[in-house]
Structure 1
Amino acid sequence: MSEELQLFVKWTEFLKWLLNTTDKFPKKARFTFTTRIDNLALDILEDIIECRYDRDARKAGSRKINIKFEKLRILLRICHDMHYLSTRQLEYASASINEVGKMTGTWLKGGVGS
């Protein structure tokens, strides 16, 4: 399986887990954290797709996606601090984001599948 396909599959799997997890956040967090987290994660998926089909987008893609990963990490840490996420959930999310982040960097910097 190509690096590009592995990246897409990993992010899609994480995205399904994340959407299911944020759906269980308290009602008071749905219009703040849930919406923002879900939209960021979906934006990352869109960025990956754009980079796949647009070589010009790849040039700025790595930086753009990394900034969104960092925003997502920070929001998830805040949710953990507010007890919307367990420590185990935060650890899983962080590990997933880090893994996909490394894969994205390799792919967009001219690694396999470029």
Structure 2
Amino acid sequence: MVDKRSASTNKGKVKFTGKKDRTRGQDHGRGHADYPVIKAMYRLALEYTERVKSFPRDTRFILGDRILNNCYDILEGLIEARYTKEKERVLRRLNLQLEKLRFQTRFCLDVKVLSAKKYGHICEMINDVGKMIGGWLKSLR
């Protein structure tokens, strides 16, 4: 690790305290560093946000909006599952929503708004999230 030194200012002068910067690799208050499933779903939502921008207008405002809303609902549900006592109920609901997202993604391929390559990439991301949700559910039993 590079020895970064933190600085404090005193009347415009920089004073090095000699302490190493320990913030590297932390999530800086985002609150999901220890939940890889939330990070994975966040990346999937970002990916779909970029993909939907290139959908044809008629598809973007019907199918695209439904997909994005589904992604955001799953992401919000994962955050909810982190804090609720009813984790199993929430995670089962999210599993169902993820299955809907799989079908919506397949539909995007069939109507040719996603290439086979992008479809494969997104499916891998969806499957990764599904495996993590399944593992989380299994750990609760």
TM-score category (smaller protein):
0.7 to 0.9
Question: Percent identity of the aligned residues?
Answer: 33
1:80 to partner: Cα distance:
0.6
Residue matched to 1:93:
122
Measure the CA separation in 2 of the matches of 1:59 and 1:80.
32
AA at the equivalent of 1:90 = Y
In structure 1, runs of 5+ residues without a counterpart are: none
- Runs of 4+ aligned structure 1 residues displaced above 4 Å come to none
Q: Which has the higher strand share?
A: 2
Residue matched to 2:97:
68
User: Comparing both chains, which one has the higher relative contact order based on Cα–Cα distances under 8 Å and sequence gaps of 6 or more?
Assistant: 1
Query: Normalised by the size of structure 1, how large is the TM-score?
Result: 0.88
Residue 28 (1) aligns with residue 58 (2):
yes
AA at the equivalent of 2:96 = I
After TM superposition, the structure 1 = structure 2 runs for residues 10-29 of structure 1, keeping only pairs within 5 Å, are: 10-29=40-59
1:69 to partner: Cα distance:
0.8
Greater Rg by CA = 2
Measure the CA separation in 2 of the matches of 1:4 and 1:87.
33
Q: Contact 1:4–1:107 (CA<8 Å) still a contact in 2? A: no
Q: Contact 1:44–1:65 (CA<8 Å) still a contact in 2? A: yes
Q: Which has the higher helix share?
A: 1
1:4 to partner: Cα distance:
5.0
Residue matched to 1:59:
88
CA RMSD of aligned residues (A): 1.7
| Residue from 32, 35, 54 that aligns with 1:5 | 35
Measure the CA separation in 1 of the matches of 2:35 and 2:137.
13
Residue matched to 1:80:
109
Return closer, same or farther for 1:105/1:4 CA change in 2, 3 Å cut-off.
farther
Measure the CA separation in 1 of the matches of 2:46 and 2:102.
17
Q: Contact 1:12–1:45 (CA<8 Å) still a contact in 2? A: yes
